[in-house]
Amino acid sequence: QHEVGKPLRNCYSLPGLDFTYGMYIHKRDGGVAEAIGHWDAVKPRNIKRIMPRDFLTMNRGAVDAGCTTAREFGLYYKFMDIRCKDENRFLTGWVSKIPAGMTFGRPARPSTPIYDIIQHRYKEMWMEHQRARTIVQKIEKKKLDQVRGNRTTYLRTHPPPAKEESFWHPARFEKV
């Protein structure tokens, strides 16, 4: 029967104190002390990867050796097995090849002359540049302010040449 005056229970009862939630790992289940004291270091494994054949180098070598038929090429490939080089391997001694003035392959920035900073030389250069720019803008504005001539103003200033009167008339227009 239902309990009177209490809501219905719609959950399960929890397991006892001896129950372990999740997976129990014997090796790592020692708490904080074991985690700090014993780190599990992964030892590097030397896996020898088989690289694909370098057919360009083998073909060059076969031609230099005097191979001409497919059978000779096959025998050359069988006895002279040349593999591609691994591009992802770490290069040793690459740090010594970088020049002293380079940082990550880019040349170092030139030092800022402190004398120019003290004398406000950069401010003066900027002000001169702004003045020159303002002058150029005024000249361009004057050019735009001028009235642009159209055909009417051109014909007023340059009248067309007068037509010379022709004294010749067709015979049918003359009175006989």
Q: How many CA atoms lie within 13 A of 44 on its CB side?
A: 2
What is the structure's pLDDT at 86?
73
Q: How confident is the model at residue 15 (pLDDT cuts 50, 70, 90)?
A: confident
Between residues 72 and 112, the one the model is more confident about: 72
Mean pLDDT of the chain: 79
Q: How confident is the model at residue 125 (pLDDT cuts 50, 70, 90)?
A: very high
Structure tokens at 166: 């022709």
pTM over 0.95: no
**Residues whose CB falls within 8 Å of the CB of residue 58, separated by 6 or more in sequence, listed in order:** 76, 77, 80, 82
Q: How confident is the model at residue 163 (pLDDT cuts 50, 70, 90)?
A: confident
Q: How far is Cα 65 from Cα 72, in angstroms, rounded to an integer?
A: 10
pLDDT tens for each residue of 85-104: 876 555 555 555 666 666 66
* 143 class by beta-carbon count within 10 Å (0-12 exposed, 13-18 middle, 19+ buried): exposed
State the DSSP string of 19-79.
Answer: ---S---TTT-SHHHHHHH---PPPP------PPB-HHHHHHHHHHHT--SHHHHHHHHHH
What is the structure's pLDDT at 28?
56
